[in-house]
Amino acid sequence: SPVQKLVFNRVNGKRPPVLLQQISAPEECYTLAHEENVRFVYEAWQQVEQQLDGSRNGESTCGPVQYVEKNPNPGLKDFVPIDLEEWWAQQFLAKVRN
């Protein structure tokens, strides 16, 4: 089968490509069901983000509610969430270099 390239989707409101591309490594093969699940989750999350933005701007009184912890855990004060897009880019570049 032809080798397909990896595509990084930006989280800036643009729709992702119709199909996720396969990495050249044979152990990382995506099935059609996997691609459909990823597309479903991506599109559902985009809708949630749009609804959250609308409720912050006063456009809507109902919809998703963003959880904010009232008493944050002091052990997590230095926690920094990972940027998955950047992490995947680094993984891809490491594979290309090797």
Q: Dump pLDDT digits (tens) for 78-89.
A: 888 888 888 999
pLDDT band of 14, cuts 50, 70, 90 = low
Do residues 16 and 46 touch, judged by C-beta distance below 8 A?
A: no
* 85 is a domain residue: no
pLDDT at 7: 60
* 40 is a domain residue: yes
* 8 is a domain residue: no
* 39 is a domain residue: yes
pLDDT band of 17, cuts 50, 70, 90 = low
Structural domain boundaries, residue 53:
30-58
* Residue 6 main-chain phi, psi, to 5 deg: -80, 135
3-state secondary structure of 85: helix
Tallying the residues shown for the chain, one arrives at: 98
* 20 is a domain residue: no
Give the percent of the chain with pLDDT over 90: 21
* Structure-model confidence comparison of residues 14 and 39, the more confident one: 39
How far apart, in Å, are the Cα atoms of 95 and each of 20, 39, 64, 90, 92? 18, 25, 39, 9, 5
* 43 is a domain residue: yes
pTM of this structure: 0.39
Closest CA to 46 of 9, 12, 20, 18: 12
Q: Return all residues near 61 (Cβ < 8 A) that are at least 6 apart.
A: 55
* 48 is a domain residue: yes
Query: pLDDT digit string (tens) for 34-64?
Result: 999 999 999 999 998 888 887 777 666 677 7
Q: What total of structural domains would you count in the chain?
A: 1
* 91 is a domain residue: no
